[in-house]
């Protein structure tokens, strides 16, 4: 019997960790599926891993697609704001760019599209226009030719948010090939980040399924399948564990010191993030003067290339140890992509830190799996001024409403409280782990160790 052929479509590097670096390929092989990585990322998968790969031609989307897609996103947010009578959707928008003539022209056109189409009828008009534009594009024709030549039975797309997806998925659907899309992140659905429509959608949890059906009423219940996400599977893989001695020796850490992980944010989410690191360093220095022996592991946001933390790190180099994520730059554009080795590093940072602190990051889940608490900073910095984003709006986002209670994470609501909160956590007087694990199950699903298997079972059922 001929094997069923599945194209695992990677529009960018975002799906590498879930579907290349994990056991995903191995499981699919064991189930008798012919797997081809339809690769638009910069990572040479065949060269690095020996996996069967079909490289996509590097062609742009239609010049107007990003404009229409931006309008689509804002229109969806306008519809959600009106439908649910909730101002939070306004905070998901980014301001239009009026710097320079060309940007101004694009922004005026985008604004007009939004103004004239902010309705259900209007959004359908915009979607049809995007599809029409992409079907005329060289990228669509290239994707169609590759699909006709290789004849996959199914195209599995690793995320729903990249405009590079549109031509490929349209070509597959036009050729009668089944299409599936994996929803990449826990906050994506309410943010109107769905740029493609597929036959099926794989989601992390019942929560995410409920959200997808709520925001996209044309999607039917049977099209949405709860699979979990491979994202957290490495945290359940005990083979990744290094001894404390080996880990500390590898990264030149002091075995007598208790380390707190400061997980950095991107500049958009937390533009004044360096000052929270400085606050933590001051709290640690003060506690050490009172008899503690604490240090900080600073793990930056992998895509943050700013120098904003440098002064704080240099001033506190006796306390702060920098353990950068093991990501690498690939290609002429220097795109930063995850590596397989980083999963092991993150596992051991979680395992050998006392707890993690950050601004609203999903690392709360990475650490809670290791029974480690998390502190969220929830106060503004004095450096906040007009034009700098207020971090407080982060905690109003829809995905934080999934918390079973406010105790699912430890909030530090005042800079003056930070030293006390750190001390309480270090001395095991307070913790969010019990409630955090409940939150983890709500967001990630009930079988976090079986996500890859569940995804393949769902794919095989669709193929049948």
375-388 average pLDDT score? 85
Predicted confidence at residue 334, as pLDDT, reads 60
Residue 384 has pLDDT above 90, yes or no: no
Q: Indicate if 237-444 has the same CATH topology as 5-61+137-228+448-463.
A: yes
Per-residue confidence at 341, pLDDT binned at 50, 70, 90? Answer: very high
Instruction: State the pLDDT at residue 393.
Output: 85
More confident residue, 113 or 333: 113
Over the chain, what is the mean pLDDT? 95
pLDDT digit string (tens) for 390-435? 788 899 999 999 999 999 999 999 999 999 999 999 999 999 999 9
Is 5-61+137-228+448-463 a domain of CATH 3.90.79.10? no
Among 464, 462, 450, which Cα is nearest to 24's? 450
Taking residues 335-339, what's their average pLDDT?
Answer: 83
| pLDDT reported for residue 141 | 97
Q: Tell me, letter by letter, the H, E, C secondary structure of 73-136.
A: HHHHHHHHHHHHCCHHHHHHCCCCCCCCHHHHHHHHHHHHHHHHHCCHHHHHHHHHHHHHHHHC
What pLDDT score does 333 carry?
Answer: 61
pLDDT tens-place string over residues 168-214: 999 999 999 999 999 999 999 999 999 999 999 999 999 999 999 99
Mean pLDDT of 364-375: 98
CB under 8 Å, gap of 24 or more: what pairs does 436-440 form?
Answer: 436/364, 436/365, 436/368, 436/373, 436/374, 436/408, 436/409, 437/368, 438/404, 438/408, 439/364, 439/365, 439/368, 439/402, 439/403, 439/404, 439/408, 439/409, 440/365, 440/368, 440/369
Any idea which residue has 């982060």 for tokens?
A: 394
Q: Is the pLDDT of residue 332 over 70?
A: no
The encoded tokens of residue 288 equal: 């050490």
What confidence category does residue 461 fall into, taking pLDDT thresholds of 50, 70 and 90? very high
- Per-residue pLDDT, 167: 96
User: What local confidence, expressed as pLDDT, does residue 188 receive?
Assistant: 94
Among the four given CATH numbers 3.40.50.2000, 3.40.50.300, 1.10.510.10, 3.90.1520.10, the one describing domain 237-444: 3.40.50.2000
Query: For 265-318, how does the pLDDT look when each residue is reduced to its tens digit (9 = 90+)?
Result: 999 889 999 999 999 999 999 999 999 999 999 999 998 989 999 999 999 999
Percent of the chain with pLDDT over 90: 91
> pLDDT of 207-249, one tens digit each?
999 999 999 999 999 999 999 999 999 999 999 999 999 999 9
**Domain map (residue ranges) of the chain:** 5-61+137-228+448-463, 65-114, 237-444
pLDDT in tens, 21-49: 999 999 999 999 999 999 999 999 999 99
Q: What is the pLDDT of residue 1?
A: 66
pLDDT for the residue numbered 338: 86
């Amino acid at each position: 019997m001929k094997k069923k052929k599945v194209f695992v479509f990677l529009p960018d590097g975002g799906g590498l960790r879930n579907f290349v670096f994990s056991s995903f390929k191995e499981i699919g092989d064991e189930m008798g599926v012919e797997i081809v990585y339809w690769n638009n990322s910069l990572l040479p998968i065949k060269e690095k891993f020996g996996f069967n790969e079909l490289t996509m031609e590097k062609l742009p989307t239609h010049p107007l697609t990003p404009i229409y897609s931006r309008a689509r996103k804002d229109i969806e947010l306008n519809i959600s704001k009106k439908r649910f009578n909730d101002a939070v959707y306004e905070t998901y928008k980014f301001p239009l760019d009026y710097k320079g003539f060309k940007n101004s022209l694009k922004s005026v056109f985008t604004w007009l599209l939004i103004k004239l189409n902010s309705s259900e009828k209007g959004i359908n008009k915009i979607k049809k226009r995007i599809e029409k534009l992409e079907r005329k594009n060289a990228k669509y024709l290239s994707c169609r030719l590759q699909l006709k030549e290789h004849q996959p039975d199914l195209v599995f797309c690793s995320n729903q948010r990249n405009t590079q997806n549109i031509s490929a998925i349209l070509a597959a659907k036009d050729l009668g090939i089944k299409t599936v899309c994996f929803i990449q992140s826990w906050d994506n659905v309410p943010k109107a980040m769905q740029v493609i429509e597929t036959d099926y959608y794989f989601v992390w949890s019942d929560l995410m399924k409920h959200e997808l059906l709520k925001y996209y009423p044309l999607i039917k219940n049977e099209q949405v399948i709860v699979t979990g996400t491979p994202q957290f599977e490495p945290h359940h893989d005990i083979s990744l564990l290094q001894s404390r001695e080996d880990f500390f020796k590898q990264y030149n850490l002091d075995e007598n010191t208790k380390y707190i992980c400061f997980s950095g944010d991107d500049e958009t989410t937390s533009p004044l993030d360096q000052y929270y690191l400085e606050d933590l360093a001051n709290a640690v220095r003060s506690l050490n003067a009172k008899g503690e022996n604490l240090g900080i592991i600073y793990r930056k946001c992998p895509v943050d290339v700013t120098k904003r933390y440098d002064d704080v790190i240099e001033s506190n180099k006796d306390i702060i140890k920098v353990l950068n994520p093991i990501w690498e730059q690939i290609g002429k554009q220097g795109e930063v992509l995850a590596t397989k080795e980083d999963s092991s590093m993150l596992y051991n940072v979680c395992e050998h830190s006392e707890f993690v602190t950050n601004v609203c990051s999903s690392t709360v889940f990475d650490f809670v799996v290791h029974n480690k608490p998390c502190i969220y900073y929830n106060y503004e910095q004095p450096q906040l001024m007009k034009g700098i984003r207020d971090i407080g709006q982060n905690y109003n986002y829809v995905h934080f409403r999934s918390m079973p209670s406010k105790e699912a994470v430890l909030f530090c609501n005042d800079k003056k409280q930070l030293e006390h909160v750190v001390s309480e956590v270090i001395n095991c007087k307070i913790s969010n782990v019990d409630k955090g694990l409940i939150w983890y199950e709500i967001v990630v699903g009930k079988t976090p160790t079986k996500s890859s298997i569940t995804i393949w079972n769902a794919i095989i059922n669709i193929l049948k």
